[in-house]
Chains A and B, each alone.
Chain A
């Protein structure tokens, strides 16, 4: 625990939070609007600055200057606490995700803990409290219904989320997220194992359950981040905004931030688990020079951006599920698939190391 470690960790935290996550959230909102406009034959925001690039800043000022209203009937303490609870877990989760190889010999992960994925689940499941408490503390009926929906939804999909990644760790044999990336560098990405002994047919057979894993995980992340088709807690047309109906100004913005931060974190975890993290075939890691370290980081965030694009694409294409259909889908379909998938991997695993 030397001085150098503390300084670099602090730098990484500040860098990731203020240079990467927060701007990425604001520009994810901008991207969402542009992507939706692209899908819907519109232009989207293009007035503020070149191609509307300053729109997020204008939005931020707008939200800051709005009246910060607290309903009289609300439970003030929890009403104020809830937005913070919504945004916090999403940002903390990123701590264990390796977003690059090394830069000047410093590993590009804030906390390389050996229980990485458990940490992700532990913190991410806290995200539900922000919504439930927000819905309850508003003391209003629509937010209340939103809060109930959210708790049921998140609890059900937490299971599929957890079970879906078990195969990954069965193959890797380690919960540390950096080892997942290192394994994929050696043996190819889980979705497309092109590196290493990629001629091994068992490797490709293993890609099938990995693909199932990936889909279940991806869908569960959709549900966890309350994105359409799973945005029941918000459900604009049913609950008039759901849990955030009574919120205004920066408190509302924090919910917004939390949703997008959760989406970014979810995408980062997906990329790490299934798409080889910062690795791209042919690009060496940071020990070969700082420029490669930077390229690795760029590769990682490009992949994250691609996954986020899929999130947006789905949102603007599909209608929304109903509460009971969502639960049925979660418990009777994804849960079973994820469970069977674990056995499938266990059956393939003994053979895949042969040949």
Chain B
């Protein structure tokens, strides 16, 4: 029997037998001179557990089949069995490089279902959360792309900056990595006193450091050679594959949910939507660098305009009331009991809310039949959608281009596999 790609791809014995049967009737499936290379799920360039089955002609890829699902935890199903607030920690584990913005996107989705609008200060805090985690995620994307191309030093420079950001997250949420900061209708706590001065200091230090990485790579002949005209995604294909985030903008499409469907306070802040032109790895890299600068710009405006006042929705029937009131007032005690045991009382209906996450459009579709638990929760994970273009993108590239392409797509398998 011929040794075919099909045989390796097939996930279970039944399909394998079916595939082998089909292969007998399909002569063109015989790969002959070509070599099948299995890249991943544990390979330094696949950022987690992506598996690629590459069919090689020499070093040139003729066919690429991504195999995902190694990190599948059934997050969507889990959501059906728990109250809205209990699902917040699970959103940390989607795009685990930007947990704060996942928290925010999820909270906003449920608030859209509830018909809530959180107070200005709460919004400003969420803006800070989104933009700091965007910087953190893009820094990792930039660093790991450089690492995959062999420039390890840039990776460590970006990690130094991320370390400072993680200190900020720890100050804000008490956790460095799995933040679980938001609740439906607000945040668990207000900004600590030291937070804003430290954030300012970080922003001042960050820009020179980013410029340093920029200088190390952007005009580096080897880096440009490795990324320019590699993994080109045209405008049409980007739209056809529903790509989003820096990858879509790298292809020259001005689409940013922060601008197109403003949520939080994004329409009050000045920032440019960064777009590339060629849609190659180099453009996606440049878009990420510039987006970090725009994030810094937004953060400075948020700090300047930071309003005072409450941070949470004052709907004590559906929010856990403040402890001081729970301990002193009968009615709040009852509300607290109901909210904790039964969850908030969501109206029946369907909502879809998408936020511009660092990796792209992170959407939550919630189908509610009333009560504290969603009937169905669907997560539109940007990494999952963005990876779908791989089978079209990789053929024609060399094995050496795989790290560049994967690095520039900047995906997270936690989100892709959910």
Contacts and interface: CB of A to CB of B under 8 A. Distances in A.
Contact of A238 (B156, B225, B402): B402
Contacts of B331: none
Interface of B: 35, 37-38, 43-45, 59, 146-153, 156-157, 160, 216-217, 220, 222-223, 225-226, 398-403
A319 B146 contact: yes
A228 B223 CA distance: 13
B310 to A, nearest CB: 42
A239 B403 CA distance: 10
Interface residues of A, number: 29
A60 interface: no
A322 B226 contact: yes
5 contacts: A237-B403, A238-B399, A319-B223, A320-B222, A325-B226
Contacts of A325: 225-226
Contacts of B147: 237
Contacts of A235: 150, 400
A322 B403 CA distance: 11
Contact of A318 (B45, B151, B399, B400): B151
A80 interface: no
A207 B216 CA distance: 31
A229 B150 CA distance: 8
B149 A237 contact: yes
A46 interface: no
A318 B398 contact: no
Contact of A237 (B35, B45, B153, B216): B45
Of listed B146, B222, B398, residue having the most chain A CB within 10 A: B222
A319 B222 contact: yes
A40 interface: yes
A240 interface: yes
A317 B216 contact: yes
Given A320-B149, A321-B222, A322-B400, 5 more contacts: A39-B153, A319-B217, A320-B400, A322-B401, A323-B400
Contacts of A232: 400
A319 B220 contact: yes
Interface of A: 36, 39-42, 141-142, 145, 149, 228-229, 231-232, 235-240, 316-325
A41 B401 CA distance: 29
Contacts of B223: 319
A149 B399 CA distance: 12
Nearest to B45: A237
A143 to B, nearest CB: 12
Contacts of A322: 225-226, 398, 400-401
A42 B163 CA distance: 13
Nearest to A232: B400
A228 B225 contact: no
For the complex of A and B, list the 9 residue pairs with the smallest distance between their C-beta atoms, beginning with the closest.
A320-B150, A40-B156, A319-B151, A319-B149, A322-B400, A237-B148, A319-B150, A237-B45, A237-B403
